[in-house]
Amino acid sequence: MGAQKSIHAGRAKIDVNVDFTHKLCTSLMFPAFRDTSSPLSLVIGSLCIKHPNLFGGSEKLDVSWDKGLYDSNVLVAFRRPRPEWRPQQCFFIQHSLSPEIGVYGTPVDNFSRSGSGGVNLSKLAVGLDLSEPASSKWSSTTSVKFEHVRPINDDGRAITRDLDGFPITCSGNTHDSMVVLKQESRFAKATDQGLSHFTMQIEQGIPVVSKWLIFNRFKFVASKGVRLGPAFLLASLTGGSIVGDMAPYQAFAIGGLGSVRGYGEGAVGSGRSCLVSNTELALPLNEMTEGTIFLDCGTDLGSSRLVPGNPSLRQGKPGFGYGFGYGLRFKSPLGHLQVDYAINAFNQKTLYFGVTNLASST
């Protein structure tokens, strides 16, 4: 499904990876017994360059590039060595280009798929990450970045309004700029009988310039897993909210794989707030295969009307949805294969097929 090659040039290491399976789990989604929808996140090639000792003092330079059919991402990261008891620093520059489907995508086939809304986001970010030393089961990261967001259409031209004539940016111009201070805390505990995970993210827009966005956004993810004999029950709850200045593309998108299965990406709704629950019971069938049953629910908590331009209402999204179904998980030399069959609240059946390459996930 792919090819990988490592090249050593002096002290630098170049990893070249052309991979047709990475992120298929988020790209191949099609209604059962119908034609497949167009893949939106399929990564068809990647390039990674690593230098472990850039200036002779164990400074690390990582350059990565991922190219998909409709999106791309370039990341340059520079790390300086510091004592283990001090926060680890990482300077980064990142540019990404991707279609904005979660907010501007148009639901079709009883909300089981989301078509392109003609809006793409070009993002440039420059910043610094500070990773605190792990303490017991807790870890935290603080970051500050400058972000420049420019909406473009499918032809690559800058736009300020969507197909219905509503503004895309908060500023009303061809771009939004912001300085964002982010704090992320993580808790992880695992035993033979289960696991507990908790993540909290808080972002604050800093008004360095009067026209830059000022907002506060938080998001949490809480997961609990319990072993029930040979079976394993995993339940998770995800929520968040944003107050202050807001562009429509900053809304929480609900629906799709990793959110509410049975719906297209963002087809349940997009709002200033969200709450999503996922429950899955896995039962081993043999050493290489697991069977699962799942139930997903999600809601925008009635906050879609608070998003500028109310794109969710204009597209007829319900604001609440649930999906249930069953699936299979396979372990293979190619990676982890996943097949999910989901039914949404409109009785629309959707089949998800995915492969996560083991080399790509490490």
Q: Which CATH class is domain 3-357?
A: mainly beta
Task: Give the model's pLDDT for residue 34.
Answer: 34
Burial of 13 (0-12, 13-18, 19+ CB in 10 A): middle
Whose structure tokens read 């993580």?
A: 186
CA-to-CA distance for 90 and 258, rounded, in angstroms?
Answer: 28
Q: How far apart are the first and last CA of the chain?
A: 17
Of 83-92, 157-166, 176-185, 217-226, give the lowest mean pLDDT range: 83-92
Q: What is the mean pLDDT of residues 264-291?
A: 96
pLDDT tens digits, one per residue of 21-61: 444 444 344 443 333 333 344 556 778 888 887 887 788 99
pLDDT at 328 over 90: yes
CA 21 to chain centre: 17
Q: Give the Cα-Cα-Cα angle 312, 315, 319 (nearest 5 degrees).
A: 40
Whose structure tokens read 């990341």?
A: 75
pLDDT at 290 over 60: yes
Task: Give the model's pLDDT for residue 10.
Answer: 61
pLDDT at 225 over 50: yes
pLDDT at 96 over 60: yes
Tell whether the torsion through CA atoms of 120, 124, 358 and 227 is positive or negative: negative
Predicted confidence band of residue 9 (pLDDT cuts 50, 70, 90): low
Task: Give the model's pLDDT for residue 67.
Answer: 87
Phi-psi domain of 267 (left: phi exceeds 0; alpha: psi -120 through 50; beta: other)? alpha
CA-to-CA distance for 133 and 131, rounded, in angstroms?
Answer: 7
Of 6-10, 86-90, 138-142, give the lowest mean pLDDT range: 6-10
CA-to-CA distance for 308 and 226, rounded, in angstroms?
Answer: 41
- Sequence-ordered list of residues with C-beta below 8 angstroms from that of 240, at least 6 positions apart, any chain: 217, 218, 219, 220, 252, 273, 274
pLDDT tens digits, one per residue of 184-202: 999 999 999 999 999 999 9
- Give the dihedral of Cα atoms 187, 191, 193, 197; nearest 10 deg: 10
Which of residues 151 and 207 earns the better pLDDT score? 151
